[in-house]
Amino acid sequence: QVQLVESGGGLVQPGGSLRLSCAASGFTNDYYTIGWFRQAPGKEREGVSCINNEYGNKYYAHSVKGRFTVSRDSAENTVYLQMNSLKPEDTAVYYCAADVHRGVPSRALDPDEYDYWGRGTPVTVSS
């Protein structure tokens, strides 16, 4: 059974940085994509970024491109989301999720493409 555990959230001032971690386990092969999503109060869950484990392809939402960076440590089975230049509108609960099919999902940042989810870690950007 695939399990995903997020960590690294917290309170940060505007302009600050945080690094989120997603510890993944239970995969039976290397064919999966890990995505980062977020959900702010009263809003729908939205895709932030994803990385394909087999090919290393990375995708970003327009709202975070140039500020967020997704990366992976295959030895540790961990995916990271480095978030820089944070803004109040980045405030949300951040989730990682896994799509366990070969290749990148056709809609890479659509939550409906993902099969397994972590419980989330909250990020608050406020002065």
Q: What is the tens place of the pLDDT at every residue in 47-79?
A: 999 999 989 999 999 999 999 999 999 888 999
Q: What is the tens place of the pLDDT at every residue in 87-109?
A: 999 999 999 999 998 888 889 99
Phi/psi for 111 (5° steps) reads: -55, -30
Q: Which amino acid is at 118?
A: G
d(CA 33, CA 114): 9
